[in-house]
Structure 1
Amino acid sequence: MSSGNEILYIKGEKNTEVKEPNVTLGDILTMECSNSSIMNRIKPLRILKIPKKEQHRYVVSILKIIECIHREIPGLQIQNEGESDLIITYEGEKKRNAIWQGIKVVVVAGITFIGAAFSIMAFNNDVSVTKMFSRIYLLLTGEESNGFTLIELTYCIGLIVGILIFFNHLGRKKFTADPTPMEVEMRLYENDIQETLIEAYARKEKEVDVD
């Protein structure tokens, strides 16, 4: 059977990290073809050679990838099921420093805790929560509140429970399989960054594309 009758299905993610400077199609694509020998010929094809000295980021057009494949197997039918532009990030081998990682976690957690506490206190002050609770307590019991009553206690417990339910997280444990609001926002932010990067490379003509 000739290669002209075969169809190669390829799929590339919008952002792929690679550890080796010689980037092959097998590193950035998932492939499917009824003829396994075709995939064995395509996967080792090099699409980029990246200098090792520093971190690099490239944007590669799917047309450049198709051109690379056709140079190896002319006439092969290719069906792209993935992105039209691929971001390839080369970071090389990184040595993880457990102590430094721990310090960063503690610093970020501390900043987040202080910021969240300040926001809650500012909100409580803006809406006069203390005065409101005192009035409610006076209406219900006929006595003046000392600021440490069942109303304040249930408010604090409810605040903690509400935060846990909203963020769907307690440590590494998730209450449901749904992504958390933070994960959703991070994914949207990541998509915006990737789209901006692709547009910037295309505008500056830095994208690896066909001539």
Structure 2
Amino acid sequence: MLYIRLRHRLLVDPAHPIKLKDIAELIGEVEIVHALQDIIIYEISKKDKTHVVLDIMFVLDAIKKHVPHVECNVIGPTQTLVEINVRKKKINPFFLIVTWLLLFVGAGLAIIYFHEDVSMQQVHQRIYYMITGEVKEKPLVFQIPYSIGLGVGMILFFNHVFQKRINEEPSPLEVEMFQYQQSLDQYVIHHDEKEQQKDIDRS
């Protein structure tokens, strides 16, 4: 008896042959696990580009070739998405600076437009008048702490100070990126299934 649980996702280098222990956790008799964990399931080729989807049927077939009489029980996901770590080109410093400036200016303008829409300066003036009874065009006693609080609030919201995480709780941006990655993985798997179906229809 052998219990198999495929990993949901795997990142490998193009030259790395994918072994069973890379894509699955195995539980069973020690001799069988040792005999199977180092078998090569798949070898990356140029036609694979950036992603490969390994199905449980493909894995079971490879296991049966090495240990024909083993009984396999599959637990968890039935597919592993293998992402090929393609070497990316170095980023041009000029484009990095231009992109950073565009994002910085765009974010600044977005904040300015928001405060203009809600008439934030008039709100500060009104609060200052209600507390002190004086009319002041630039109530810095409110505007300066508010500006500092805006920056601190953004840091707390994204849960990062440069590369350092404030606490272990994921930020909303990390949660959105996680959901995006899950949707992307599901699309790649679904697209692979459609391509396989087309190949079957052609044959």
TM-score range, shorter chain: 0.7 to 0.9
1:158-202 deviation line (CA, Å, top 9, x unaligned): 211211222121123222211111111100000001111111111
1:22/1:108 CA distance change after superposition, 3 Å = same
Cα shift at 1:52: 4.3
Percent identical among aligned pairs is 26
The equivalent of 1:9 in structure 2 is 3
1:72-105 deviation line (CA, Å, top 9, x unaligned): 112312233342111122235x4885xx387776
User: Would the aligned equivalents of 1:21 and 1:52 in 2 still touch at CA under 8 Å?
Assistant: no
Tell me the SS of whatever aligns to 1:83: coil
1:167/1:95 CA distance change after superposition, 3 Å = closer
Cα shift at 1:206: 6.6
Cα shift at 1:120: 1.1
The equivalent of 2:21 in structure 1 is 26
The equivalent of 1:129 in structure 2 is 120
Tell me the SS of whatever aligns to 1:145: coil
Map 1:1-211 → 2, pairs under 5 A? 7-19=1-13, 20=15, 22-35=17-30, 37-52=31-46, 55-91=49-85, 94=87, 97=90, 100=91, 109-205=100-196
User: Would the aligned equivalents of 2:125 and 2:139 in 1 still touch at CA under 8 Å?
Assistant: no
**Structure ranking higher in helix proportion:** 2
1:121/1:12 CA distance change after superposition, 3 Å = same
Deviating more after overlay: 82-91 vs 61-70:
82-91
Higher RCO structure, 1 or 2 (CA under 8 Å, sep 6+): 1
Deviating more after overlay: 123-132 vs 56-65:
56-65
Cα distance in 1 between the residues matched to 2:190 and 2:150 = 43
Tell me the SS of whatever aligns to 1:137: helix
User: Would the aligned equivalents of 2:51 and 2:81 in 1 still touch at CA under 8 Å?
Assistant: yes
1:206/1:55 CA distance change after superposition, 3 Å = farther
Cα shift at 1:130: 1.1
Length-normalised TM-score, structure 2? 0.82
In structure 2, stretches of 5+ residues that fail to align are 199-203
